[in-house]
A and B are shown apart, each in its own frame.
Chain A
Amino acid sequence: MRSQAVLAAVVVLTVTSCAREPDASDVARRVSQVVMSPFCDGLTIHDCPSQQSEELRFEIQGMARRGMSEDAIVDELVARYGERIRGVPEPEGAGLLVWILPGMSVVAGAAIAFIFARRFSSRPSGADERQTPPTLEERARLEAELTAARERS
């Protein structure tokens, strides 16, 4: 219990205090990682090796140094090159599916698994949970240990 409490405390402390003020290069990197390159098929501005993308990366760095926020830079780039370069779907229209369905699939899957496990559980009500029949492997290990103990004695 004590170790679980320590773990919980660590997680809470982490979540509450890990935020730090991003600098311009962090902002520029994050923007280049969420906007697709207009010059490479299927690659972000960050990953595209073309020279035009390199110039765009320098330009994004400049925008970030001038104090533009991540959203403002993304909007500026989308206005220039079109909606097709937005790499993170907006939570509206078809994009809503992306934000809802994966989470729902986990919840639904876990719920179905839980119901399945409960429904097909053969444990008689009131059975003592401490009574755990051993598996074959446990029995083999038990026998090996008993043999070893006998040999020692």
Chain B
Amino acid sequence: VPSLAGFGRPSIAAALLFAIAAAALCVVGAIKHRRDLTVAGVRCVVVVAGFVGLAIVALVSALIAHDFSNEYVANYSSRSLMGPYTLSALWGGMEGSLLFWTLLLTVFSAVALTRAPARTARLVAWAGCVLSGIAIFFLTLLSAPASPFASSQSIPADGAGLNPLLQSPGMLVHPPLLYTGFVGFSIPFAFAMAALFTRRLDDAWFTATRRWTLFAWSALSIGIVIGGAWGYTELGWGGYWAWDPVENASFIPWLTATAFLHSVVIQEKRRMFKVWNVTLILVTYVLAVFGTFLTRSGILSSIHTFAEGDTGKWFLPFLGAMLIGGLALVAWRADQLRSENRFDSLLSRESAFLFNNVMFVTAAFGVLLLTMYPIIKEAVDGVRVAVAPATFNTFFVPWGLVLIALTGIGPLIAWRRMSRGAMTRVLRVPVAAGAGAAVLLWIAGVRSAGVLSACALCAFTAVAIGSEFVRGSRAYRARGAGWISALGQTLARNRRRYGGYVVHLGIVLIVIGFTGAAFRSEAQAQLRLGETMRVGDYTLEYAGLERGETAEKAVTAAEVDVSRGSDHVTTLRPQRNFHFAQRQPQSEVAIRTTPVEDLYLVVTSVDPDGDIALRAFVNPLTWWIWAGAAVMGAGIGIIFSSPATVGAARPSPRRIEEPAVVMR
């Protein structure tokens, strides 16, 4: 494949020119109400996406051709880097990541603007301005300070290669999914800002972008889980979430986006929370860009700062302008963002959503504060510190428990108002299930308050969700349908609602998986051939060592026989490898996974005479995290299959105002 790197710079320059033209045409089109100018502006956005696509092709071709005259290719790839990992070098460094970010932004913008419903024409004009403005910022960065098309000062015989940790299947999908999530929020953000500009503050902006919001949230959720799975299988410390600043950078906007997904339902159903919703999407998008800034600026100590640069001075003014400008717009339109309805009672689904939002937003604030603490501490005391995951857990576990409780309570409460008697009736079975789960675990010997409360709340929420399905399918059962058929029809009738419950069920399973960490056991030992060590109920015998070599690395694999009592369970082969290009050792873990527990082995060093240092972990219930994520994915699929999600007809919110029947 010939290198087309020469096309890179001209493509970026052309994309920048067209982005400026798009912004100008959309602004004039919006102000003068000239539909033709807006249409021309949107076409320019499509052209911008085309040129950025060309720049991506140029960089990928240079990576495949090992064109080390390109500085980025020389820094992030090598001749031994083959197959799909050549592609992951695209987001292995800062400049490539920003180019990929810009590709997603411009493609999403082109699709969203060209496919927007005709009734949102005025919104499209302003949304086009906002999206083109964001594209101008990133294309300016790519033109000079963070160009992936800079030439090498001297052409090396081989490149520095990609960090070995990034050469894993998880890294082929984790960064693109996170970026898809971050960038996806550009669309609802741009339409929200357009709604503020045009004073069209009804629900048009979020119904037009509902699918985008869900798409971005889903990509971010799946990306976060895959990142956890990558950390678990690649980093060799036995865990899946380290509260690393870059992990937090994706988690913080996820929290506010989740709050938004819930609160927007209130606006849809009751025409309340208008100011709150535009503010939430603004904050979510600013946090998403901030996440990109954290990942790429190297401002915080992090295992993820594979690519450090000086782009921080560009990002901060951009972030500041977006946040201050956005908040000023909200304040400017505040009088037109008044709620059209009021709370009927504190005991209502609206209240549950409101408190859900309080918990999500304050959790985001707490995680942000702890993430930024090293910078605050350095500014105040001049000492550079880091915050241990244990500190994050101290704060976040109580939040998580309250949110799980709200996940169960929310669907049970009626809109508008619910009597205490009715509330007691619907809560009776789930509360009994929660209490039953806690008692059973207590009898089984569990004494951790955190685990007991988490499991009780998970049982409570799972039964609450189950009871909603049972209630929903009752009418179909009454018509003679079987249980499975009735549940299927219930799910099909309202896919957004019941798909949401399936997502909640996935979250419950994930939380059950988290509780397993409380029962984790671990051991480490220096072993000679034939020696054994114990971890949990397992006996591990160091049975052999194999050495080999590939073009990229020297491989040393230990053979560990695993037995429980007198039964041989399995043989695991953890590796300690040495990567030639990076001159870096790396451990490849070996895991035996079951729904009950994972046995996780990692060799941390190998002596020249063949002695190994072995770390072993028994991680109970970790399997349920991945199972829960799969259930979440299924729920997301169900929601996406709903006609309501794609913007089809839905009942007018006014209809629920009719108090035709009084239930006693």
The residues of A with any CB-CB pair to B shorter than 8 Å are: 3-4, 6-7, 10-11, 13-15, 17-18, 20, 25, 29-30, 33-36, 40-44, 46-49, 51, 54, 57-58, 83-84, 86-89, 93-95, 97-98, 101-102, 105-106, 109-110, 112-114, 116-118, 120-123, 129-139, 141-142, 144-145, 148-149, 151-152
List the B side residues contacting A46 at CB < 8 Å. 237
With both chains docked as a complex, state the minimum distance between the C-beta of A91 and any C-beta of chain B, in angstroms.
11
**Residue in B239, B453, B615 whose beta carbon sits within 8 Å of that of A11 in the complex:** B453
* CB atoms of A117 and B435 under 8 A apart: no
The 8 A-B residue pairs with the shortest CB-CB distance, nearest first, are: A87-B388, A102-B366, A122-B342, A133-B659, A144-B475, A47-B237, A18-B447, A109-B358
List the B side residues contacting A3 at CB < 8 Å. 428, 431-432, 435
Identity of the chain B residue whose Cβ is nearest the Cβ of A33 in the assembled complex = B390
With both chains docked as a complex, state the minimum distance between the C-beta of B365 and any C-beta of chain A, in angstroms.
5
Identity of the chain B residue whose Cβ is nearest the Cβ of A8 in the assembled complex = B435
* CB atoms of A42 and B417 under 8 A apart: no
Identity of the chain A residue whose Cβ is nearest the Cβ of B428 in the assembled complex = A3
List the B side residues contacting A29 at CB < 8 Å. 522
Known A-B contacts A7-B438, A11-B449; the reply to A42 vs B386 at CB < 8 A is yes
Bound Cα distance A48, B383 (Å)? 21
Identity of the chain A residue whose Cβ is nearest the Cβ of B385 in the assembled complex = A84
* CB atoms of B344 and A121 under 8 A apart: yes
Interface CB pairs A-B, < 8 A, 6: A42-B386, A87-B387, A93-B381, A98-B391, A123-B344, A151-B479
With both chains docked as a complex, state the minimum distance between the C-beta of B652 and any C-beta of chain A, in angstroms.
9
Known A-B contacts A3-B428, A44-B388, A44-B389; the reply to A97 vs B369 at CB < 8 A is yes
With both chains docked as a complex, state the minimum distance between the C-beta of A62 and any C-beta of chain B, in angstroms.
13
* CB atoms of B416 and A10 under 8 A apart: no
List the B side residues contacting A130 at CB < 8 Å. 419, 421-422, 664
List the B side residues contacting A20 at CB < 8 Å. 447
**Residue in B339, B361, B442 whose beta carbon sits within 8 Å of that of A109 in the complex:** B361
Any A CB within 8 A of the CB of B303: yes
Bound Cα distance A130, B662 (Å)? 9
* CB atoms of A132 and B416 under 8 A apart: yes
* CB atoms of B414 and A132 under 8 A apart: yes
List the A side residues contacting B416 at CB < 8 Å. 132-133, 135
List the B side residues contacting A14 at CB < 8 Å. 438, 442, 447-449, 452-453
List the A side residues contacting B415 at CB < 8 Å. 135
* CB atoms of B381 and A94 under 8 A apart: yes
Number of B interface residues, CB 8 Å?
98
* CB atoms of B351 and A7 under 8 A apart: no
List the A side residues contacting B662 at CB < 8 Å. 131-133
Known A-B contacts A7-B431, A58-B524; the reply to A33 vs B389 at CB < 8 A is yes
Any A CB within 8 A of the CB of B384: yes
Bound Cα distance A68, B593 (Å)? 36
Most buried by B among A17, A48, A109, A139: A109
Return the CB mask of B419-461 against A: 1 if under 8 Å, else 0. Answer: 1111000001001101100110010000111001100100000
Bound Cα distance A121, B366 (Å)? 29
Bound Cα distance A17, B448 (Å)? 9
* CB atoms of A49 and B358 under 8 A apart: no
Known A-B contacts A3-B435, A54-B524; the reply to A102 vs B395 at CB < 8 A is yes
* CB atoms of A10 and B435 under 8 A apart: yes
Bound Cα distance A95, B385 (Å)? 11
List the B side residues contacting A139 at CB < 8 Å. 660-661
Identity of the chain B residue whose Cβ is nearest the Cβ of A130 in the assembled complex = B419
* CB atoms of A152 and B478 under 8 A apart: yes
Identity of the chain A residue whose Cβ is nearest the Cβ of B419 in the assembled complex = A130
With both chains docked as a complex, state the minimum distance between the C-beta of A23 and any C-beta of chain B, in angstroms.
12
The segment from B185-193, B372-380, B620-628 that touches chain A is: B372-380
With both chains docked as a complex, state the minimum distance between the C-beta of B465 and any C-beta of chain A, in angstroms.
16
Bound Cα distance A120, B497 (Å)? 27
* CB atoms of B435 and A83 under 8 A apart: no
Bound Cα distance A97, B379 (Å)? 13
Any A CB within 8 A of the CB of B474: yes
List the A side residues contacting B391 at CB < 8 Å. 34, 87-89, 98
